[in-house]
Every structure is written in structure tokens, then in C-alpha cells.
Chains A and B, each alone.
Chain A
Amino acid sequence: MSDPTASAAGVTGTLEGHAGSPPTTAEPGREKPRSLGRDAWEDLRHNWVFWIASVLILILIVMAIAPGVFTSASPTASDLDVSRQGPGPGAPFGYDLQGRDVLARTIYGARASILVGIFATAFATIVGSFMGIVAGYYGGWTDTIVSRLTDVFFAIPIFLGAILVLTSFPSDENTSQVAAYTKVAVALAIFGWTSTARIMRSSVIQVKQADFVQAARALGASNSAIIRKHVLPNSLTPVIVVATISLGGYIGAEAGLSYLGIGLQPPVISWGIAISDAQTYLRVSPHMMMFPIAFLSITVLAFIMLGDAVREALDPKLR
């Protein structure tokens, strides 16, 4: 291989007819590289489910960051004169038992739900991916140990596990809000990472056998480089989908834990607490429960829809 440039002419000359022509799959005049991610985006752009879910999630995120945009009422100001009053002028969602504005409390409650959901998903995805990669890539004894460990955690239902953790380490009035969110998120993720780990493991095992991984090994690439450049990018797709869908699940679980009185505690505002407070008066003042439940359902649904849309876009077989 003394002088590739000089020799190039000779070799290409004989092959120009077929090989030199532009690839048939690329549109002419469009030289922008189309990665798989770009293709997925093209697919998502034309999917109305994706847009509905995105708009809903965007609204919820704005709600979590700046609840004041949506309501001028204070979520903590209480007026017992209007206790359990139904929707009417000035308070479209009515008032709760303490005479607080249900709309304001529902909007302010989004922050707790979304933060706990994001924390729990991030924690579960990071831990699960790491375990899955270690088990899938190294195999053998490492795989046996990590997989059995995963099974142990998998055997305990997420919700039961979270109850155990939160009753063992209860929050009180002195716990800061962020610490309270983190605690609930960690309690959920401790038993929630297992499904991510299993999915990651199987997808790593599949990618590991691909010829491009063998080619990288044949070139002398280190394990860490192979994982970083080849295995991880190609096995992340199912994990992203699971993360998006399970985010909705974690938000629901947070509401469940708060409803049981062991998740977030008042004075933190959360949908779960609101639902829990409202259940005693469900028959006389259904509006107190209806609105937080509706928001909770829509949020969970939005994340599941987003996850579905992303899965469809990332899976070329469904195109």
C-alpha cells in the first residue's frame, strides 16, 4: 500500500460504471447525511400521536417550572367559607375541604409528579443500563451474578418495595422538598431498574454478535471503546422506549404512594395527596377528586403515547 492516490485511478477506472454512480437510496441533490436518528425524526414529524403527546408534555413541563403562568390563585390560601364549593365563577375547578383553589393546587401539583417521574426514570435507566451492559457484554460468571441479582430485585413488586423503603425511612416536616422528591424517586427506582437491565442485557447480547463488533475487535479496539462506540448506541433504542413509557408509570406510582400517605407529605402539593384528601367526600364533592385524577391520567397517557410514537419511529421494521 505504497501510494493509494496514484493507484486509485487504476482501480476505480475499471469499476466506475457501477460503483461510482451515486447510491440509489439517496435522493439526488440532497447531500445532508441521513442518520438513523434523522430518519426517526422524519417519521415522528408526521405522527400526530407524537405531536399531541409532545404538546401535552410541554404544557405539563411549563406547569412544573412556572405554575404561576396558568393560575393567579395561591395554592395555599385557604378560606373555610368556600370549603368544598363546586366549580363556579373565579374558581373553575372549585375549592377543596380547606377552601383552597383546586385549579391552583392541581397546577402546582404537576411539579412533584413530573420531578419524581423524571428522577425515578433517570435513576432506573442509568442503573439498569449499566447492569445490563455489564451482564450482556462480559457474559459468563459476571452475567450469572448480575442476572441473579436482577432476579432478586425483580421478585419484589415495585410498589411493595417502595412502600417498604418509604416506611423504613419516613419523611417529616424537616425534610426539604427536593430530598422528599428524591426519596420517593429512589424508592421507586430501587426496584424499577430490573426491567431496563433485562432489556439492555438482551439487546447488548444481540449487538455483541454483530460483525461490526467483531470487526472492531479484530482491529484491536478495547472493550470500553467497543461498548461506547458500537454496543451502547445500537442497543439503546429499546431502553429509550421503556424509559418513556415507564415515566408515566412512575408518575402514577408516586400518586399512589402519596395517596397511601407514605410518599410525599403535606405541605408538599401533589396529585396523590389531593386524591387522598378528596376520597372521603367523593360522593358529595366529586370535583375535588375529578380534576387531579384527570390531570394524572392525561400525564401518564401522554408519556405512554410518546413512548409508543418513539418506539414506532426507532423500529425500522414497523415502517
Chain B
Amino acid sequence: MAPAGEAVLEVRDLVKHFPLTQGIVLQRQIGAVKAVDGVSLDLHKGETLGVVGESGCGKSTLAKLLMVLERPTAGQVKFNGEDIYSLKGKAFKAMRRNIQIVFQDPYSSLNPRMTVGDIVGEPFDIHPEVAPRRDRRRKVQELLEVVGLSPEHINRYPHQFSGGQRQRIGIARGLALRPDVIICDEPVSALDVSVQAQVINLFENLQSEFNLSYIFIAHDLSIVRHISDRVAVMYLGKIVEIGDESQIYGAPSHPYTQALLSAVPIPDPTQRDRKTQIVLQGDVPSPANPPSGCRFRTRCWKAQDICATEEPLLTIRPGISHPSACHFAEQAQIVETHDAEEFGLNQPVPTPDDDDLVEPGTLP
């Protein structure tokens, strides 16, 4: 499924620190929130890259950086080989056409004072070269049809639509300029489960029709699994594990990924007791003061001295099929998958033994 084609988007060592300042007139920096701290990934043409992680791990900041709604502290993002942060003027505006975003909240992503026609047609106002003025109305109606809305709704206002329909309007706006890449920042987490499925199907249909590449940010693991070709797991501003869908779900190797997957509910009551949940202790540390070495060590049951001193790099480790940022990475099967056998995994789930649990703060 994953086409190993050319990379549309190459993200290299992307860093975003938000300065923490003190003082009213003469502000001095007393620290920084390391929202995104050295993220590298590739997005191939026609592929969906899922990005998962809990709240505050930097997923949305990553989306904003890719959209150039924020400027990075360091690092670069290449779109078709060109660094998007060094583009200026016309070239920058042209680049905007190729990367679009769909937001999480369909209630705040549409201007309540504009009609649907104005909202979906706004991209054509900003980039008049895309469509001549007389064609715009027709184009907007086509777009509404593409996303499954009636073209007659062109004169309605957003508050006359349901959440799912509003999200479709947002998708139509994102599609208007025929972008190559769409960043989906939790596009279904504000929707009902039944509507989620419709919108996910819409995303998949649009992808095959227009050869779109998606970066699909979400915290719902089953949705990401359904839609993604590859998955990146983020923790505290870093990618801890990246691989294709079957590798991440069938043979997760990073303890954090394993813990995340063990939290996915099993839709079979008879299996429920057989499942071992890995319950993580403590909270996510503050991104303003992340732990030394491995950032996950304060909550990891495998943590040793080396984890505090040496930062594990995101590389392919012996015996593991995909890059993982853990010194003690080992593949395990956490959830039932059809792909599990191909990795030859039948060992039991590594359960964190209470004695082995390292309390946060007691580490060197």
C-alpha cells in the first residue's frame, strides 16, 4: 500500500521552542517550551503518514510548522526539494497553494459571517490566477459536490450545518487549490463516531482521486491505523518510533508505543480479561524542562542508567524492522493483528513489573 515514491515533504531536524519570558518592559528569556524538538520525517506522494501521541506532545505545533503558521527555531522542511522557510514573496504564496490544512474544530474553522460559497471560494480570491472570476461559482459548487454536500447550500451560513457537514466544508476549502499535501490536524476528533467514519472514507476517496498526500494527526489509534500507510509516534516533541502501519501496530518496539497500544479497547468482551494493560505511571513531564537523555525514561519500566545520560536516536536497531528511539527496543505484539505472524512474534506481552517501575524523580 505504501508507495515508496519520491518524497513530497522532507522534514529535517525541525525544532520549535516557545520562549518563556519574564518581566514587563525588559523581557528576558528564562526558558523555552520545547514543543517540537528535532523531528525528521519524509512524506511520499500519495501516502498517508499518521502522527499519534498524547495531548501536548507537539503534534499540532508540528502541523503549524508545516503550514508555516509558525516559524521554526531550527531545521528545515523541503517541499519538492525547496526549503519552504526560505521562500519569499510570490514563490512563498505559490507554495501555500500546495500545502493545505484541515482543522480539528469544525465550529471555529469556518468564519460564521461568511456564506459557504464565500468560505470555499476564498482560496480563489487569494489566488485569482487559479480560476477566472466567472468560473468561481461553478468551481465552488463542484467542490461542494466532491465533498458530498449539495451545491444548493452555497448561500447558507456555517451555523446551519451539522459538525460533520461543517468539516466537509473545511475539506472543500482545503481542496480548492488542488494541493499536493493536506495536513489533517485531528480532523475527526470533534465528530461523532458515525460521522467520523464518513469523513474518514471521504478522505480516502479524495486521496485516491486526487493523489493527495496526508499527514494525519490524531490521538485515536484505531482511526490512524485505518487510514495510515505509515505511522509516527510522538512523545514530548520527538518521534519515538516510525514505521509502516503493520510494523507499528503488529510489532511495536518502543515501550511508549506498546503502552499506547495496550490502551486501545478490545471490541471483544471474551478477550478482555486476557489483555494485559501497560499502565504508565505519572504524567508527561513539562516540555519546558524535559528529562535528560531519553524523554520517556521517567515513566518507562525498562529505564536504566544509560537512559538518563544518553539520548536514544531514532534508528533501526538490531532485530527490529523499523526505526525506534529506545536503547532497549524489542518487538512485541500488543494488539491482535493479522500481520503479527510475519514477524514471528508469539512471546507474551512484556508486563511492567511493579518492582521494576522506576518512580519519576528517583532517576540519576
Contacts and interface: CB of A to CB of B under 8 A. Distances in A.
Contacts, number: 140
Interface string A29-51: 00101111100000000000000
A14 B148 CA distance: 9
B160 A19 contact: no
Contact of B178 (A1, A12, A19): A1
Nearest to A210: B108
A1 B210 contact: yes
A127 B168 CA distance: 40
Contacts of B153: 23
Interface stretch (B122-130, B290-298, B309-317): B122-130
By secondary structure, the A interface counts as helix
Contact of A23 (B165, B173, B202, B210): B165
B157 interface: yes
B286 interface: no
B115 to A, nearest CB: 6
Contact of A11 (B96, B115, B155, B209): B209
B301 interface: no
Contact of B202 (A11, A26, A233): A11
A215 B101 contact: yes
Interface stretch (A153-161, A187-195, A216-224, A304-312): A216-224
B9 interface: no
B345 to A, nearest CB: 36
Contacts of A25: 159-162
A20 interface: yes
A34 B103 contact: no
Given A11-B206, A34-B157, A216-B122, A4 B93 contact: no
A221 B143 CA distance: 20
Interface in B199-226: 201-202, 205-206, 209-210
Please give me the 8 A-B residue pairs with the lowest Cβ-Cβ distance, nearest first. Answer: A220-B96, A211-B109, A1-B178, A8-B145, A15-B148, A1-B210, A19-B148, A211-B103
Interface of B: 25, 64, 67-69, 92-93, 96-97, 99-101, 103-105, 108-115, 119, 122-123, 125-127, 139, 142-143, 145-150, 152-153, 155-157, 159-162, 164-165, 168, 170, 173, 175, 177-178, 194-195, 198, 201-202, 205-206, 209-210
Given A217-B69, A234-B112, 17 more contacts: A1-B209, A4-B142, A10-B209, A11-B206, A23-B156, A23-B165, A26-B160, A210-B109, A211-B104, A212-B109, A214-B64, A214-B101, A214-B103, A216-B122, A219-B177, A229-B122, A234-B113
Interface of A: 1-2, 4-5, 7-8, 10-12, 14-16, 18-20, 22-26, 31, 33-37, 144, 210-212, 214-221, 225, 229-230, 233-234
